[in-house]
Amino acid sequence: NVPTIDIFNIKDEIANKQITTLQKNAKDFGVHIFDMGSDEQGIVHMVGPETGLTQPGKTIVCGDSHTATHGAFGAIAFGIGTSEVEHVFATQTLWQTKPKNLKIEINGKLPTGVYAKDIILYLINQYGVDFGTG
């Protein structure tokens, strides 16, 4: 809910409360915040890797569907909903159910010009997008 215009005069009461609460909590608990107006602020999926906060083996959660992109750096990353964000802040834990397993074996040699992406797109075409949910 961070405004893109006039960040120092937030008119939306809920957004203003969220931002001021986050700022206060960060200060009270000594958490570095990439605050509005800071040269470091930006989109979490850029700031994390650029600052070195995104690292292999770390668990990262954020209320955004692009959070999983941190997996490219070896982090375990989940996009979570608003109530889950609240839970993570309150408990420093993330409730996860064990995911279903799905094993696919591709045998033989791929022809020249055929790549892993081609295989997965073929499987999705044959079995549908829900096929990948296990």
Report pLDDT for 2.
60
Give per-residue pLDDT as tens, 73-119. 999 998 998 889 889 988 999 888 887 777 888 899 999 999 999 99
Residue 75, Cβ neighbours under 10 Å: how many? 21
Whether 134 shows a pLDDT value over 60: the answer reads no
Report pLDDT for 64.
84
In this structure, which amino acid lies at residue 115?
Y
Q: What is the pTM of this model?
A: 0.62
Q: Is 60 within 8 Å of 48 (Cβ atoms)? A: yes
Give per-residue pLDDT as tens, 109-121. 999 999 999 998 9
Domain assignments of the chain as residue spans, ordered by start: 1-41
In this structure, which amino acid lies at residue 117?
K
Q: What are the tokens at 38?
A: 């800071």
